[in-house]
Structure 1
Amino acid sequence: MLSFTPLAILALMVPRGVPVGAPPAVAACEAVQRIELAVAPVTAARELCVSPGLVTSLRFDAPTVVELQDEVRFEEVVRVRRLLTLMPPPDMVPGERLRLTVRFEGDTSSSGSSFVLVAHPGRATHQVEVYRDKRTRESFLREVVQERARNAQLREELARTQALLGQSGGLRSLIASKTIGYSGVRAQVLKSKVREPSDGGLSVVTGASYRAEQSMAVDVLLKNSGSEPWMAAGASLVDARGEEMKGVKFHQEDVIAPNEVRSVIVEVATAEAQAQGELTLRLWDAGGRAITIPEVPFP
């Protein structure tokens, strides 16, 4: 069971700022990006994905002159007439933006084309093909070959995944891993006392607890009476002696919007003879909105 901790973070947009949080939305960081300046002229600067430690190369169909904002900060910049290879500043943080201006040699009719290098954590476009006019036939043929190779790789990965799924899953995996034994999985309806909204606006609608040979879990249906969406960022189970159980994992399919009801599942690996009696379950989100559910019984 996986643990999800989504955070809604807004990036601060400034030309040379150092925003905190996730980078701003940008077209998917494709491995190869192709841009035809004459076919789709735009007034705003085009955004390119870069990342510290990863090389990004821009390939032009004609000789160019380029100007790079804060070039002295870059780890590496290599120029030739039709190629610019760069490695972003090592201190470039996610969301930071640096401007790149490109002028084709002999073109005195415009101020050039602008691009914005947007820092992403561990993601970068490795090659950018920039065409002053329309793309050539050879360029389209190269793209077809690359897409075919990519699709073949994806098909191989899909086949491997399907083979693994065919070998695992369902009751056979639970039996093979000794998660369930001869006694199977026992369940008990949760009769929670948390019916009124907590300080975080959360309350329990219903739920159930489960115990198998090597693990136990509780599934609670929560209602969000607050004004903001809620998503679990952490969970804990505490026994009657005040000791917190180790290795607690949780799963929540989607955020709980205001006035909506959704399930949160909490699981912990433990032998059947352990963790007897009632436990206290606590759930909280990234902003600290929490709910404490006492006296959770397990079969």
Structure 2
Amino acid sequence: MLPAPPLSLLVLALLQGSSLLSPSSAVDCQEVQRIELSRTSGAPQEICVSPGLRTRFVFDSQFTVNLQDEARFVEVIHGRTTLGLLPPGDMGRGERLRLTVYFKEEASSDGVTFVLVARQGQATRQVEVYSDRPSRASFQQEVAQEHANDQRLQSRVEQLQHQLELLRAECDDPSGLRRLLVSGEMDAEGIRARRISVKSGPSSKSLLFMVEGHIYRSSQHVVVAVMLRNASSEPWTADGALLVDKHGKNWKAIRIWASSALLPDSSQLVVLEVRARGQELQGDVTVKLWGAESRGISIHDVPVP
């Protein structure tokens, strides 16, 4: 039977084993790591990385790199002053890979070496590297400007999200009087309406005619709803509409609605909407509706409420 190893050898073996793990455990995985090269001792700077997590280097001048085992990396993105890394998927905890950076403004330099130390599920998201104080100040100003732009963008996104929530609320309650009041669409006079007189049948040209109709007015819009009948043998689809006032001014429809094409020998409701605030549109108007194939209908002497 072999003699047991001396206790001192076991202790030495344990100490040697723990020393192999100590570098990785000593790495502080900061969210953002700032390195000012003018204040470092020249020793390689350790950077915490992890498979599946991106680490982005930001420099204050243009550069080239020499990355150990670059072919193993899932992603290496070179920018003008940035470098994005997605470490190898098989990079084990404690594994160390060298990254040497050469600044173009310092062609004679031996470069700056960083050591990428693998951790599981922890990584430094951004490493900001400053080669000297003046450029550091300039770069900080640029970072601050980008941060301000991000804040403005975030504010705009929040504003759009709020508007989207309001629109969703309106869609959930499309017929509610509350929505009309809050939006300013309905004032104290409410929604006013007039019946449109039926004066004639289909014209020989378009074979379209109105069966019945109404015109409505809110504080901001005028809506015409007419039941049209298609006496032709071809379907008809509304493609455009406008109102012509007594001065000859055209009020183009901002929206036209119909459930489907108007089939031959059938009737269907067609609704058009014109933006007209307050007293902008008064008196009798002519309603003009036309289809994609140019067939249309004109309805005269329509009284605006």
TM over 0.5: no
- So what's the TM-score if we normalise by structure 1? 0.44
- So what's the TM-score if we normalise by structure 2? 0.43
* Structure whose alpha-carbon radius of gyration is higher: 2
